[in-house]
Structure 1
Amino acid sequence: MLLKFEDALNKIEGWFMVIGIAAMGVIMTLEVFFRLFFFALTWSEELAKYIFVWVVFIGMCYGIGKGLHIRMELLEEKMPPVIKKLMLIVGDIILILLFIYLLGPSWEYFVSQCSQKAATIPIHMGYVAIVVPTSFVLCLIQIALDIVKQVKGEK
């Protein structure tokens, strides 16, 4: 059951990143085309920037879920399997505490941005800022799934 949930979460995050990067490419290509032949689009750079913010934060969750982030493995490789497993779990617990700590300020940031409007796009900045607490929750889920896999010995 957890494996299916983890796979679905990874697929959703992966597709979100693919679609976001493709959208940024299309938007910036349109900007170049319009700037060369017609007039500069006023909204394209800002929209691409906001999509980029979303892709980066969702990419962080995807990276945590897949174990793609860099870490110091030298000490870990020298330890016996039981100690290595314990080190990975302790590291995950530290990450959980970090993301829980950051969840409050990220929510305050989101609330403060809800009253702001984007410069060239008719949207509230809350739509951009909501990615921060959302990504932290997704990271917490990914880390919890990683701990379960470590405890079960699936990783």
Structure 2
Amino acid sequence: MKLLLCLDKYFEIALISAGIAMMVIVMTAQITMSVFFSTFLSWSEELCHHIFVCITFLGISLSIKENIAIKFDVIMEYLSERAKLILSIVSYVVMLIFFIIMIRPSIILAERMGHTAATTLPYSLSLIYWVIVFSIILSIIRLIQLSCVVVASLRRFSELSGGDE
């Protein structure tokens, strides 16, 4: 159970941190090779592009988990607490519908890219597209988690206020 809680709390952060660390190491090696040995690593830029795409999509899931995704902040200032919770639920449902719609085309694209090799690296580009599919599914899970928290808050709020407001 502790492992699941730890994964829930740090999964995206660990993957994104590992990706950034890998990019730093690869680019440092590239600069070192260029400056000191007058040569370069032919694969470093492509690998960093792929890592960047992966961490960007994982960042979407992290922003949802941390509840820092794009919101209606200006509108929220003028609403009651109950209205804020309802608007949050509506926005989560809209995002959830969007991500659910995106699953199928993402899977189709990942499958189609299976025959396309990376230019300078020994793997298929489908790997990158499967990371995107994984990130979309992870975003859906995070949206469901966040929606459950907001619905529970709305229920508590309704019980405390007696259903008024």
Fold match (TM-score > 0.5)? yes
Structure 1 residue 10, shift from structure 2 partner: 3.5
Aligned length: 152
Q: Is the 8 A contact 1:113 1:124 kept in 2?
A: yes
Identity in percent = 26
Name stretches of at least 5 consecutive residues in structure 2 with no aligned partner.
Answer: 157-165
Superposed, 1:6-155 pairs within 5 Å as 8-38=7-37, 39-153=39-153
Give the residue type in structure 2 aligned to 1:141: I
Give the residue type in structure 1 aligned to 2:83: I
Q: Residues 68-121 of structure 1: CA distance to partner in whole angstroms, max 9, x if unpaired?
A: 223221222212222211111111001100001111111111011111101101
Q: Is the 8 A contact 1:6 1:145 kept in 2?
A: no
Name stretches of at least 5 consecutive residues in structure 1 with no aligned partner.
Answer: none
| TM-score of the pair, normalised by structure 1 | 0.91
Q: Which runs of 4+ in 1 moved over 6 A?
A: none
Q: CA RMSD in A?
A: 1.8
Q: Distance in 2 between matches of 1:56 and 1:10?
A: 18
| TM-score of the pair, normalised by structure 2 | 0.86
Q: Distance in 1 between matches of 2:61 and 2:26?
A: 25
Give the residue type in structure 2 aligned to 1:64: I
Give the residue type in structure 2 aligned to 1:32: I
Q: Distance in 1 between matches of 2:74 and 2:83?
A: 14
